[in-house]
Amino acid sequence: MQRFARWVLGYHGTTKDRATKLIGGELAVEDWPPSRKPYDWLGGGIYFWEHGPERAADWARQKHGEAADVVGAIIQLGRCFDLLDVKFTKLLHPTYERELSQVVDAGRQLPVNRGPDHDLGGRYLDCHVINKCLQTWVEQDLAFQTVRGAFWEGQPAFPGAKIMRESHIQIAVRDPRCILGVFRPT
């Protein structure tokens, strides 16, 4: 972990049961299961909304209904693959080209981003490319601990706006040692 890496507050939508276990220490942060779905927006990891407790709560209510809860976390970004920095976004295209070449040679196709609207909630292609890009760094013993990205999501905030109602910065924590502590937001 980088010695003076940035710290942020993140919020994770989950169930009351899991929140209670995490906050009470019954479930160790190291045992927090990461998401490994093929459509995860930032590849595999434990997902947080950066400084977005209400967004995490909305998501949790949609997913878990009455059993919804939110866990706050202090996250040290560590070695962060930050998609808000061109230093990192420029690494994605060569990975995409390499993956495209490999699947064409094998007679297959790359995954496709898809979803019911312009948000394309199923980020199958993005997830695939990010995971493959990050895998090359793991092979060099330079694994990224977190991935951070911004997403313009939802309906316009007002007619003609480019500000969307559900826009957010999301963090996927790949190395649970970056979660320095958890708390219950109030």
pLDDT tens-digit series, residues 57-76:
999 999 999 999 999 999 99
Report the mean per-residue pLDDT for the chain: 92
Model confidence at 102: pLDDT above 80? yes
Scan for tokens 């559900």, then name that residue. 166
Could you report how far apart the first and last alpha carbons of the chain are, in Å? 29
Residue 176 makes CB contacts below 8 A (sequence gap 6+) with: 29, 30, 32, 34, 46
pLDDT attached to residue 57: 97
pLDDT level of residue 119 (50, 70, 90 thresholds): low
Model confidence at 165: pLDDT above 60? yes
Q: Where are the domains of the chain?
A: 7-183
pLDDT in tens, 89-99: 999 999 999 99
Helices (H) and strands (E) in the chain, counts: 5, 7
pLDDT attached to residue 138: 77
Measured between alpha carbons, how far is residue 86 from residues 44, 65, 146, 152, 178 in Å? 21, 38, 16, 18, 23
Residue 53 makes CB contacts below 8 A (sequence gap 6+) with: 11, 70, 72, 185
